[in-house]
Amino acid sequence: MKIAVIGTGYVGLVTGTCFAETGNVVTCVDVDQQKINKLNAGEITIYEPGLEKLFLRNQKEGRLKFTQSLADAIVDAQIIFLALPTPPGADGAADLKYILGVANDLGKLLNPNNYVVIVDKSTVPVGTADKVHNAIVASATIHQAGKNIEHCFDVVSNPEFLREGVAVDDFMKPDRVVIGTTAPKAIKVMNDLYTPFVRQGNPLIFMDEKSAELTKYAANAFLAVKISFMNEIAQMCERLGADVDMVRKGIGSDDRIGKRFLFPGIGYGGSCFPKDVQALAKTADDINYDFKILDAVMDVNAMQKLHLIPKIKKYFNNNLKGKHFALWGLAFKPNTDDVREAPAYYMIDALLAEGATIAVFDPEAINNTISVYGNKIVYANNQYEALFNADALLIATEWNEFRTPDFEKISSALKNKLIFDGRNVFDPAQMQELGYHYESIGRKIISNK
Ligand code: UDX
């Protein structure tokens, strides 16, 4: 099939590359000429494990192309994917200006003699497929007056469920593919497109557009609820002297609850959960529905991101002025350089405000952090360099390389044998044996005093 993907951000690039991988010819469009030049030169613009290999192979085979011209990209395309940003607007609702802008352009360009399926891949509020449909028709009425555009396209909602860091795997072997359309022609096209991805027997789930749009928000909001619920259970554990790891295992083994996404920590971050929870809350607000659980989730997460700060302050008798901290982990989660809504940043802001200094290390997210914090903090070249002369080690992201470090090196570089762990990467029993003061989330404080 011939496919156009509009927008070469994270979702667009993964989507385009993975569709090329199953033999389709994919043309990706972006308004950013610099980005297009880089991509055409074989340079990948995002960090995502496994993507580069597929990208280079398909580009070499001529199945993956990049252009700045929307008109060129959509010529003969049977499917057009919209993978455009939907940033939160001032009121928390997803801003549709990019999507509707492209819909307007499509209204000028669509050929009434070629049927095409237009797919919303971005996470968009319920009702967006209708809005895109109407925007295309309205634009065609102005720019292609007299031509019957309405019957030459359908708008489908096909939300993505990619996790950063494992996006290629999630795309190639999805748990399910949700396809929102009731138009028979579009159902056929989408079915043919996705069949190679569900050979293992996972379902293609067809439904109406609105249900598909809501499914995406419901999935992310539910996961945010699950994490936040565990974060509150962790708070209870700390106060009761129970161990959240045990409670997690105890409940996770029940199939109805499931083992995944029960890890307490310093809150969820990233580009999706915070934005989608907020946007769903706004949708609820717009229809005068008081979605109480979502409000609670946002409160819990705001609190959780700063969960370590009072613990650190308490240890230092409420005075962090002149204290120096080593911070391991900046990305909102491991295996990504994404720092959007990263809990580490909330910690940095809080510590700086208390008059502390910080040296940071992250395997991938240092460059992104330099552009945010400049010379307000110190950037280390490796995890041990960050420790030099620090009063304590703080952990904000559970990168694998932090899990079994050289504790001799840690204790000789730190001023105190002191660790505050926001992701429960170490075993408290081991910390006790090694003589650290160790505070983590929802587990007993290990004291070396
Ligand atoms: C998410 C969704 O999983 C994906 O389906 C969606 O479409 C895009 O958003 P992503 O943001 O890449 O993906 O990360 P994910 O692995 O889901 O983690 C989200 C956040 O939850 C991270 O901050 C992570 O640290 C946190 N988390 C996750 C926990 O705090 N505890 C857990 O048990 C799991």
Query: Mean pLDDT over residues 290-305, rounded?
Result: 98
Q: Is it the case that residue 227 has pLDDT exceeding 80?
A: yes
Q: What is the mean pLDDT of the chain?
A: 96
Query: Mean pLDDT over residues 375-394, rounded?
Result: 98
For 51-109, write each residue's pLDDT tens digit.
Answer: 999 999 999 999 999 999 999 999 999 999 999 998 888 887 889 999 999 999 999 99
Q: What is the CATH number of domain 217-303?
A: 1.10.1040.10
- Interatomic CA distance for residues 298 and 144, integer angstroms: 46
Query: Mean pLDDT over residues 338-365, rounded?
Result: 97
For 118-150, write each residue's pLDDT tens digit.
Answer: 999 998 999 999 999 999 999 999 999 988 899
- Give me the percent of the chain exceeding a pLDDT of 90: 93
Q: Is it the case that residue 449 has pLDDT exceeding 80?
A: no
The pLDDT assigned to 283 comes to 93
The pLDDT assigned to 236 comes to 98
Q: What is the CATH number of domain 2-207?
A: 3.40.50.720
Top-level CATH class of 306-439? alpha beta
The pLDDT assigned to 88 comes to 83
Residue nearest to atom 19 of ligand 1 (CA): 268
The pLDDT assigned to 311 comes to 98
Domain ranges of the chain: 2-207, 217-303, 306-439
Q: Is it the case that residue 382 has pLDDT exceeding 80?
A: yes
- Whether 272 lines ligand 1, by a CB cut-off of 6 Å, is yes
Same fold, 2-207 and 217-303: no
Residue nearest to atom 9 of ligand 1 (CA): 272
- Whether 263 lines ligand 1, by a CB cut-off of 6 Å, is yes
Mutate to test the pocket of ligand 1, among 123, 223, 225, 245 (most ligand atoms within 8 A of CB): 223
Asked if 244 contacts 237 with a C-beta cutoff of 8 angstroms, the reply is: yes
Residue nearest to atom 7 of ligand 1 (CA): 161
**ipTM of this complex prediction, to 2 decimal places:** 0.91
Report the nearest atom of ligand 1 relative to the CA of 271.
11
- Whether 329 lines ligand 1, by a CB cut-off of 6 Å, is no
Report the nearest atom of ligand 1 relative to the CA of 343.
23
The pLDDT assigned to 93 comes to 82
